[in-house]
């Protein structure tokens, strides 16, 4: 079982795509175990995107991600990291496969609607930035046994 960090970015919130992101991940069979809406302070944004701090797009990325509220979430499931990446699509929405969130809704590599951790290690690091352990819930969903045989 894995947990992954997902964030509807300011463009996704402004465009009314929060429900679309949550709905697609629910229908995929993943389980929502943490959720909050926040307007990221600059320090938190810089911490989250620290692996990109030397990239030329970093200042613009920080400006964008702090430009409005985001919806921060933790999703759980078997291979949840890869499952979310697949639902989300490639980084550049223009080349992201249609049928993915980015492929269906985006045109701009920066304003690409949603973030999802790229590995189990990144997920652990990112979840710890946004959530206290006590803010995440554990619960059984009766439907889980119809989603995976595991």
> Which of 83, 115, 123, 126 is the binder for ligand DAT (CB under 6 A)?
115
Question: Is position 120 an interface residue for ligand DAT (rule: CB under 6 A)?
Answer: no
Please state the closest distance from residue 29 (CB atom) to ligand DAT, in A: 22
Q: Which of the listed partners (ligand DAT, Mg ion, none) does 97 bind, with a CB threshold of 5 to 8 Å by partner kind? A: none
Interface with ligand DAT, residue 118, by CB under 6 A = yes
Q: Which distant-in-sequence residues (6+ apart) come within 8 Å of 7 by Cβ?
A: 70, 71, 72, 73, 114, 115, 130
- Across 62-131, the runs of DSSP E, i.e. the strands, are 70-77, 114-116
Cβ of 131: how many Cβ atoms within 10 Å? 19
CB 41 within 8 A of CB 48: no
State yes or no: residue 109 binds ligand DAT (CB under 6 A): yes
Check residue 94 for interaction with ligand DAT (CB under 6 A): no
- Position 82 contacts ligand DAT (CB under 6 A): no
Give the residue, chosen from 23, 36, 91, 97, that forms a contact with ligand DAT under the rule CB under 6 A.
Answer: 91
Which of 76, 112, 113, 123 touches ligand DAT by CB under 6 A?
112
- Least gap, CB of 143 to ligand DAT (angstroms): 29
Give me the DSSP letters along 55-67. STTHHHHHHHHTS
Decide if 85 contacts 116 (C-beta within 8 A).
Answer: yes
Question: 130 with 5: CB under 8 angstroms?
Answer: yes
Q: Which residues are catalytic?
A: 115
Residues engaged in binding ligand DAT (CB under 6 A): 52, 57, 61, 91, 109-110, 112, 115, 118
């Amino acid at each position: 079982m894995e947990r992954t960090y997902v964030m509807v970015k300011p463009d996704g919130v402004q465009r009314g795509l929060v429900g679309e992101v949550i709905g697609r991940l629910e229908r995929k069979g993943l389980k929502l175990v943490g959720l909050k809406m926040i307007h990221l302070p600059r320090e938190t944004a810089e911490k989250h995107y620290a692996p990109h701090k030397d990239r030329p797009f970093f200042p613009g990325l920080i400006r964008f991600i702090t430009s409005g509220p985001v919806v921060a979430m933790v999703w759980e499931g078997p291979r949840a990291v890869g499952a979310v990446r697949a639902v989300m699509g490639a980084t550049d929405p223009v080349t992201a496969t249609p049928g993915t969130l980015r492929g269906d809704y985006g045109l701009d590599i920066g304003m690409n609607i949603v973030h999802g951790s790229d590995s189990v290690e990144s997920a652990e690091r990112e979840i710890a930035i946004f959530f206290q352990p006590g803010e995440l819930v554990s619960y059984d969903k009766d439907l889980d046994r119809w989603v995976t045989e595991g």
